[in-house]
Structure 1
Amino acid sequence: MVSEQQVKEKLEDVKDPEFDINIVDMGLVYEVNVEDEDVHILMTLTTRGCPFHGIFEEVINQELSELEDIGEIEVELTFDPPWTMEKMTDEGRNKMGAVPGHGMGF
């Protein structure tokens, strides 16, 4: 059976095309749940009007389908809470060149 850790590792291969940073480090993935072989991902986008919203589900499905013993994949979008740069990992901030207190919204 696929694990939440395996799913999260594969999600690190999915990049936000606007920033070229993976969606985990961007802080877009709020929750990953695996029940039996089915995967549910709760995520957000940087903005409600993000032009890439349709791309993420397709790329996520493509990446996760490479895992063995995976069932249905559900990607649920939410904007509650809305994404902010504070949700980014330290690695994501470093990749973006964001330094707290230096004009990057921190």
Structure 2
Amino acid sequence: MDETDLKAAPAASTAEANIAMAGGPAAGSTIPPEELTRLTDEIVAALKTVYDPEIPADIYELGLIYKIDIDDDRNVDVEMTLTAPGCPVAGEMPTWVENAIASVGGVQSVKVELVFDPPWTPERMSEEAQVAVGWY
């Protein structure tokens, strides 16, 4: 299974840099490197179409995506968080993420899990998101 883990992402780094390790197959992966790169790029593009309704930035640049796993059968597991546990769209946002990723060609299934450890902080935002919200 190829795993992209964003939990250890440095503060204020770009989200693209944090997901770059998904560009190559994990040891023993049957997905060709170019296919894994395409899937990763298209999944990131799909995530960038999902916006937090209270913040003018997409969930990927906000740093709400903690982990993306793509297994050899092209099933995608995502761990994500919210800006706050009491977020009014907590029940809807995982479905938005699931639908966005499911639209990527070649993806077989998508499972999205909400996690709150570690808690989201504004430091997880990319520079792009910081600019969008006027913090940079």
SS in 2 for 1:5: helix
- Report the alpha carbon displacement of residue 63 of structure 1 after superposing the two structures with TM: 1.5
Superimposed CA distance per residue, residues 11-62 of structure 1 (whole angstroms, 9 cap, x where no aligned partner): 0110001112100111101111111210011111111111111221221122
Q: Choose between structure 1 and 2: higher strand proportion.
A: 1
1:70 match: 107
1:6 match: 42
Contact kept? 1:8, 1:32, Cα under 8 Å: no
- Report the alpha carbon displacement of residue 73 of structure 1 after superposing the two structures with TM: 0.5
Give 4+ residue runs of structure 1 displaced > 3 Å after superposition. none
Which of 101, 106, 119 does residue 82 from structure 1 map onto? 119
1:56 equivalent to 2:93? Answer yes
Contact kept? 1:44, 1:77, Cα under 8 Å: yes
Contact kept? 2:80, 2:114, Cα under 8 Å: yes
My pick for the range that moved more, 88-97 or 29-38, is: 29-38
Which of 28, 33, 45 does residue 69 from structure 2 map onto? 33
TM-score normalised to the size of structure 1?
0.85
2:129 match: 92
SS in 1 for 2:78: strand
TM-score normalised to the size of structure 2?
0.68
The whole-number CA distance in structure 1 between the counterparts of 2:106 and 2:56 is: 29
The whole-number CA distance in structure 2 between the counterparts of 1:62 and 1:48 is: 22
Please provide the CA RMSD for this pair.
1.4
The whole-number CA distance in structure 1 between the counterparts of 2:117 and 2:82 is: 11
How many residues are aligned here? 99
Structure 2 residue ranges without an equivalent (≥5): 1-34
